[in-house]
A and B are shown apart, each in its own frame.
Chain A
Amino acid sequence: DAGVIQSPRHEVTEMGQEVTLRCKPISGHDYLFWYRQTMMRGLELLIYFNNNVPIDDSGMPEDRFSAKMPNASFSTLKIQPSEPRDSAVYFCASSRTSNEQFFGPGTRLTVL
């Protein structure tokens, strides 16, 4: 299995621009998670989906952040407009109902 795939691996953008991060979960996994990792706040769960439906988005910092999962094999996390404080590494993870989450390599976002 290819594991969780994220793209791009690195993104550098200017403040105010729209940023879209992409994730392909492991085939057959019915849960998908988006996390953010920063030095100050550590690993934070932003949102997670079950069977393509958002279950808990309480970790999404503000309305500038949105996430979608149009089908079982694809999810996006969008930031519009981006701000320098959004600079972080964003991880996608997927799992079956066994609770064991498999993480992607992450997208390192830098907002100038």
Chain B
Amino acid sequence: AQSVTQPDIHITVSEGASLELRCNYSYGATPYLFWYVQSPGQGLQLLLKYFSGDTLVQGIKGFEAEFKRSQSSFNLRKPSVHWSDAAEYFCAVVLNYGGATNKLIFGTGTLLAVQP
């Protein structure tokens, strides 16, 4: 069955340090991949998405992610973390079955804490 795995439940980084959040997917075809961020008490905001083409995608707030088919991964990166990046991050994949798309499957999320 299609699934998304975020192996890190909680990560703490120092402000200014680099960040990488891991995401692995299990999916037979080429997936549509997303990263969302959720600040406390807020809804989910789309950071970036991958549908096709260049495997390195740029998103908002200085984030980027790289699709690696050989590793079934879509890791999120940021070169220098800001305190305002503290939030929960969700990786997601769209299921495509019978031509009908749009059913998002979310990972369990990674909670990011930023130390001053």
Q: What is the interface of chain A, defined by CB distance below 8 A to chain B?
A: 4, 31, 33, 42-43, 45, 48, 50, 55-56, 91, 93, 95, 97, 99-106
- Taking CB atoms and an 8 Å cut-off, the chain B residues in 68-116 that contact chain A are 90, 94, 100-109
Contact-size category for B? 20 to 34
Q: What is the interface of chain B, defined by CB distance below 8 A to chain A?
A: 32, 34, 36, 42-46, 49, 51, 90, 94, 100-109
Complex CA distance for A99 and B42, rounded to whole angstroms: 21
Complex CA distance for A101 and B42, rounded to whole angstroms: 15
> Are A99 and B51 interface neighbours, CB within 8 A?
yes
Residues of B near A103 (CB, < 8 A) are 36, 43-45
Residues of A near B109 (CB, < 8 A) are 42-43
Shortest B83–chain A CB gap in Å is 22
Residues of A near B36 (CB, < 8 A) are 103
Answer whether A42 and B106 are a contact pair too, CB < 8 Å, given A55-B100, A99-B94, A104-B43: yes
